[in-house]
A and B are shown apart, each in its own frame.
Chain A
Amino acid sequence: MSTYVDRSSKGKIKISRPNKGQLKFRMLIIATILFTIAGFFMMDYKGLELWPAITGTLVNLRDMFLMPQLNQITLGSAIWQVIITLSLAFLSTILGAVISLFLAFGAAMNLSKPWVSQTIKTFITIVRAVPTVLWVLIFAIAAGLGSVAAIIGMVFHSIAYLVKAYSEAFEEIDEGKIEALRATGSNYFHILFHVVIPQTKSFLIAWTFLRFEINFGVAVAMGAAAGAGGIGYALFMSSGFYYDMNEVGMITYMILIVAILLEVVANKLKAAA
């Protein structure tokens, strides 16, 4: 019998020997399951009548998704509001992408000096750690609640996101291609525009579009939270003010259609690049 084999207390052979990290992870999973079960027993169910709650929710869902219709606003103005929200997202993505491109050249280790790269990376990590909504509210102190604060906040967070994505794409570039152009006597800008950008173009487009989709979602939320207008504000009015579930459903469908269209366009563009 081999002495290399571990046995359980009952003498059965173990087929793996977990290391310290795996043991910790196992403890974490067990603790999470225990707390979740304990949590159910500690909740306060006093005011809740289960059956009316379930039926009420189902009725609301039916009103929203099976009987969507616009009551407070016309279809034309709803579409106009969607366009406003799209514009907010578009503007903040474009501004963010242009600024990010240049910051990412500085942040990429292979195109920049180590201290410049470290400074930019630290800065954007801090910016990214704070949620977009908080940035919008911070800028609202100076710009007042509205679309200006929303766009500045969204640009800020977009930059933090895109600089990381772009600079990581740049760092993947084969060092040999840069060396080849340096050997022809090309300068820094030639290398950026003739190696770095052509080689990473499809990544840049993919990341920018992903951020555009995120910004569209954020712009909907900002319409309500920061008074930036657009379809988000209409959604807030029909749910919180008029309690009109049919209209909430209609607006949700409109947002969904726009999101799907964006996805389709993004894939087409990526294939073309």
Chain B
Amino acid sequence: MNVETLTRPDNTAEKKTQEVVFPFPEEAAQEKLSVEDVPVIMEIKNIDKSYSGSSKVLKDISFDIRKGEVLSIIGPSGAGKSTLLRIINRMIEPNSGVIRFQDKDTLNMKGKALRHMRTDIGMIFQHYNLVDRLSVFENVLHGRLGYKSSLQGIFSMYSEAEKEKAVEIISELGISEQIYSRCDELSGGQKQRVGIARALIQDPKIILCDEPIASLDPNSSRIIMEYLRRISREKDITIIVNLHQLDVAKQYSDRIIGLNDGSIVFNDVPEAITAESINHIYGSNLEELIVE
């Protein structure tokens, strides 16, 4: 009796979270086919990167990215995870190598072609990187600027269709009450959802996530990871995510890439990860790590 009254508020809180976490239609969430049946959308071959003067950050990186998969990149700090992620949308230029995305070589792109390529790749960040003096709505619409000319962009000339799409995405992510709030009034979890909305409205093929949950509490982290996985399942968008949390990577990804000192030392499904491979990735034994 006493226990029941104590647990009831918890139950309602849990239910509310569930509503926030699962706003997408349930029937759309289906299990995936086996990895080999899914088409490759990006091929990364022999990428090398070194910053001027220092030793190599990335050494001969090659891997394929498949449509709609959740791909985690794990590894110790300084292994080159962030650099690798930014090379995918060319925020950082590699020294050599080839990247083929939608049958085009992205490393030769310039100007308009480069901007167009970036509209196909969304990105979210550890520190959210929202313009916090602008509203949630304005920040989400920033995701459309890649499709605009200079003048259209400067005067915020968004079409009604784009605005309606933004409203739809914002309500899917459960932040419609805050649509006109300034972003500095939001909590961390809400800010990250605005970040996801800004990436989604780009209509991307891939979303890159640079440590998306490193600044969030465990519950917000879970909500964000659930969203990312559902986006990959229901919208068939590939999610590439840098993570520090091994157990999160195991729980949510279709495939894990382990990076150590600029080289790929592991590239397989999460079930294949063993104590030995963890030793390879982090350079220390499983018992010595805090995996939670």
Q: Which residues of A contact B (CB under 8 A)?
A: 174, 176-177, 179-187, 189-190, 193-195, 198-199, 201
Complexed CA–CA distance, A194 and B143 (Å): 11
Residue pairs across A and B with Cβ atoms less than 8 A apart, 24 shown, are A176-B127, A176-B129, A177-B129, A179-B91, A180-B195, A180-B198, A182-B91, A182-B118, A183-B121, A184-B122, A185-B115, A185-B116, A185-B146, A185-B202, A187-B115, A187-B145, A190-B145, A190-B150, A190-B154, A193-B153, A194-B145, A194-B153, A194-B156, A195-B131
Chain A contact residues, majority secondary structure: helix
Partner of B125 from A180, A190, A194, A195 at Cβ < 8 Å: A180
Contact partner of A198 among B134, B147, B153, B195, CB < 8 A? Answer: B134
Which A residues are in CB contact (< 8 Å) with B89? 183
- Give chain B residues whose Cβ lies under 8 Å from the Cβ of A185: 115-119, 145-147, 202
Do A184 and B133 contact each other (CB < 8 Å), given the known contacts A193-B154, A194-B153?
no
In the complex with contacts A181-B142, A183-B89, A184-B143, A189-B153 CB distance below 8 A = yes
Q: Known: A177-B129, A177-B131. Contact between A184 and B154, CB under 8 A?
A: no
Q: Which residue of the partner chain A has the closest CB to B156?
A: A194
Query: Roughly how many angstroms separate A97 CA and B150 CA in the complex, as a whole number?
Result: 22
| B121 lies within 8 A of A194 (CB) | no
A195 to B154, CA, bound (A): 11
Give the number of residue pairs across the A-B interface with Cβ within 8 Å: 83
Which B residues are in CB contact (< 8 Å) with A184? 118-119, 122-123, 142-146, 198, 202
Tell me which of A182, A183, A194 contacts B131 (CB under 8 A).
Answer: A194
Nearest residue, chain B, Cβ from A191: B145
Q: Which residues of B sit under 8 angstroms from A176, Cβ to Cβ?
A: 125, 127, 129
Chain A residue numbers with a CB within 8 Å of B235 are none
Per the CB 8 Å criterion, the residue count for chain B at the interface is 34
On whether the beta carbons of B150 and A187 are closer than 8 Å, the reply is yes
Rounded to whole angstroms, the CA-CA distance of A188 and B208 in the bound complex is 22
Least CB distance, B182 to chain A, in whole angstroms:
10
B183 to chain A, nearest CB (A): 11
Q: Which residues of A contact B91 (CB under 8 A)?
A: 179, 182-183
Decide yes or no whether B148 CB sits under 8 A from chain A: yes
Knowing A184-B119, A184-B202, A189-B153 are in contact, say whether A199-B146 is a contact too (CB < 8 A): no
CA distance A179 to B142 in the complex (A): 12
Q: Is there contact, CB below 8 Å, between A199 and B153?
A: no
Select which of A179, A187, A194, A201 is within 8 A of B129 by beta carbon: A179
Q: Which of A190, A193, A195, A201 has the most CB of B within 10 A?
A: A190
Q: With a CB–CB cut-off of 8 A, which chain B residues contact A179?
A: 91, 125, 129
Given A176-B129, A185-B145, A198-B133, 11 more contacts at CB 8 Å?
A: A176-B127, A177-B130, A179-B91, A181-B145, A182-B91, A182-B118, A183-B121, A185-B115, A185-B146, A194-B156, A198-B131
**Are B148 and A190 touching (Cβ within 8 A)?**
yes
Closest Cβ–Cβ distance, residue B85 to chain A (whole Å):
10
**What residues on B are CB-neighbors of A180 within 8 Å?**
123, 125, 129-130, 142, 195, 198
State whether A187 and B153 are in contact (beta carbons under 8 Å apart), knowing that A174-B129, A179-B129, A194-B142 are contacts in the complex. Answer: yes
Enumerate the 8 nearest inter-chain pairs by beta-carbon distance, A residue then B residue, closest first: A185-B146, A180-B129, A185-B118, A190-B153, A183-B123, A176-B129, A186-B145, A185-B115
Given contacts A183-B123, A187-B115, contact A199 B133 (CB under 8 A): yes
How far, in angstroms, from A272 to B70 measured CA to CA in the complex?
44
In the complex the two chains form, what is the Cα distance from A181 to B148 in whole Å? Answer: 13
Q: State A57–B132 Cα separation when bound (angstroms).
A: 56
Q: Which of A180, A193, A199 has the most CB of B within 10 A?
A: A180
Contacts of B153 in A (CB 8 A): 186-187, 189-190, 193-194
Question: Of all chain A residues, which has the CB nearest B152?
Answer: A190
Residues of A within 8 A of B143 (CB): 184
A198 CA / B134 CA spacing, docked (Å): 7
A189's partner among B132, B138, B150 (CB-CB below 8 A) is: B150
CA distance A176 to B128 in the complex (A): 8
- In the bound assembly, the distance between CA atoms of A181 and B138 in angstroms comes to 12
Considering the chains assembled together, what is the distance between the CA atoms of A174 and B183 in angstroms?
Answer: 15
Chain A: which residue is nearest B198 at the CB level? Answer: A184
Distance A180 CA – B154 CA, assembled complex (angstroms): 17
Task: Give the docked Cα–Cα distance between A179 and B125 (Å).
Answer: 10
> How distant is A178 from chain B, measured CB to nearest CB, in Å?
9
